[in-house]
Structure 1
Amino acid sequence: MAIRSELSLHCRGKRATCQESEIESATSKAGAFFMKHTSVYARHWGFTLIELMIVIAIISILCLIMLPNMMRSRDAAKLSSCKYNLRAIAAAMEIYATDNSGMYPQRLDLLTTVDTNGHAYMRTIPNCPVAGNNSPYLQGYEVVSAPKNAYTLSCQGNYHKIMGLDSNYPKYSAVRGLMDSQDAEEDEK
């Protein structure tokens, strides 16, 4: 209806009289014009199969690039957690030695034993996140009499091979601290 009124105003400006058939003809042409552009406009709202396949391919390539980095980050986090566990056990052992005339415990389970005051040095002995419930720290604990009642504590097994560590590493020593490889241990000697 708005098109019809605009056309009648337009006709009045050019000529004094305008035929009704001219208005109808112009209206139908204008309607055809708008219909034609509306259908083209509506067609551009959807995606073609090729466009969708290209987007899926790009997303797949990005995932393939990111996946190894995420896996490496996850393994590095587990190794970091294992090192933290070794340091936590070592800290509890130092407190135990302070309370027991400088002597380290002969077994790690002594750290979880509750004393007369109702305290324990650790609630539980932590597990290596890679090993799961099979705690390699219990097998890797060794008290060495020389030098001066020292100890070594290691993550027994080959759990961190993917991160490039030797078997039975990381290792914590009362004398050397945290060691990542046999090379570091030999350098210290």
Structure 2
Amino acid sequence: MMDPTRGLQLGLVFCWQWLLILAALTFEPFEHLPALLAVTAALTLMVHHEKAQLPAPSSLGWSLLAGFLVLVLIKPGCRLRGGEQSRLCACKSNLKNVATGLELYAGDWAGQYPPELGYITPNYLKFLPTCPAAGKDTYSHSYRVHAEQYTVMCRGCYHHGAAIDTPNYPRYTALEGLLEHPPGGLL
């Protein structure tokens, strides 16, 4: 029968190897550094424990260590390229919030949209948001209004890491709603 400590040690070695592979594949090795250090520290602790022939630690202690390591390992593994995707998601949310502010304004002004985006602050939107990928307001200068239609977009090319290579996307229009890509732009 195999010693449970040895099984946990082998499991940690396996996790450590997969973390190294994951770090190499994502081209973001420093993102996985805390997990690599945690697994390395746990392996070192186990090796020193075996060499000193200390009494076996409680199974609760090993369970807590294993649970902690699983949590540390899951976070980096779940979000390959997650940074770009989360910034795109936040940008799309910003556009929806701006669109809601524009619709509220139009509701109070007989269906007319404001001539400039700044008109919706602070009554309909506390402040104009900034695109998290650009780090600045990319929406104000892109706002276009014609009669009962408008278009507002993330002006520039800040989301190429999230597979949006077309400038001025995502965008929101009164007629089509949120557009992540140009019509017909997806394969």
Specify if TM > 0.5.
yes
Cα 1:58–1:136, aligned 2, differ >3 Å: closer, same or farther? Answer: closer
What's the TM-score, normalizing by structure 1? 0.58
Show the counterpart of 2:183: 183
The amino acid of 1:80's aligned partner reads C
2:100 to 50, 70, 91: 91
What's the TM-score, normalizing by structure 2? 0.59
Contact 2:26 2:81 in 1 (8 A): no
Show the counterpart of 2:163: 164
Identity of aligned residues (%): 33
The amino acid of 1:155's aligned partner reads C
Matches within 5 A, 1:85-164: 85-113=94-122, 120-132=123-135, 134-145=136-147, 149-164=148-163
The amino acid of 1:126's aligned partner reads P
- Measure the CA separation in 1 of the matches of 2:90 and 2:15: 38
Cα 1:89–1:54, aligned 2, differ >3 Å: closer, same or farther? Answer: closer
Note the aligned Cα RMSD (angstroms): 2.7
The amino acid of 1:137's aligned partner reads Y
Give the ranges of 4+ consecutive aligned residues of structure 1 lying more than 6 Å apart after TM superposition.
Answer: 53-56
The amino acid of 2:94's aligned partner reads N
Is residue 173 of structure 1 aligned with residue 173 of structure 2? yes
Deviations along 1:59-114, whole A, 9 cap, x unmatched? Answer: 4234324666735111111101100000001011101100011100111111114x
Higher relative contact order (CA 8 A, sep 6+): 2
Show the counterpart of 1:81: 90
Aligned residues: 125
- Measure the CA separation in 1 of the matches of 2:106 and 2:15: 62
Deviations along 1:12-49, whole A, 9 cap, x unmatched? Answer: xxxxxxxxxxxxxxxxxxxxxxxxxxxxxxxxxxxxxx
- Measure the CA separation in 2 of the matches of 1:56 and 1:78: 29
- Measure the CA separation in 2 of the matches of 1:150 and 1:139: 16
Cα 1:153–1:61, aligned 2, differ >3 Å: closer, same or farther? Answer: same
Cα 1:73–1:54, aligned 2, differ >3 Å: closer, same or farther? Answer: closer
Is residue 64 of structure 1 aligned with residue 16 of structure 2? no
Structure 1: segments with no counterpart, 5+ residues: 1-52, 114-119
The amino acid of 1:140's aligned partner reads S
- Measure the CA separation in 2 of the matches of 1:112 and 1:56: 51
- Measure the CA separation in 1 of the matches of 2:176 and 2:142: 16
Residue 144 of structure 1: CA displacement? 1.8
- Measure the CA separation in 1 of the matches of 2:163 and 2:22: 26
The amino acid of 1:143's aligned partner reads V
- Measure the CA separation in 2 of the matches of 1:124 and 1:72: 29
